[in-house]
Amino acid sequence: MTIGQEYSKYSRIEFACFSFHVQSFLYGLQQIQNCLASTAVKDPEFSHITSILRSLHWLKINEPGFIAN
């Protein structure tokens, strides 16, 4: 195994770990946004959050365009 192959193997593992942490962070942000949206419109506890987010003109965290350049 060459040095380049060894580096490549570890960089893929590190990227996978980083990607997992980013996804976990975004999941937490989505939960906070859902809670705030439900509170803002004073909706019942078991309402569908998608319709609430649309009525507020909020994008979900994982939708394209949420984080614009």
Domain boundaries, the chain: 23-69
Whether 55 shows a pLDDT value over 70: the answer reads yes
- The predicted pLDDT at position 10 comes to 65
Report whether 34 contacts 49 (CB < 8 A): yes
- The predicted pLDDT at position 12 comes to 75
Could you read off the pLDDT of 12-44 as tens digits, one per residue?
777 778 778 888 888 889 899 988 988 888 887
- 29 versus 66: the higher-pLDDT residue is 29
Q: Rounded CA gap, 55 and 28, in Å?
A: 22
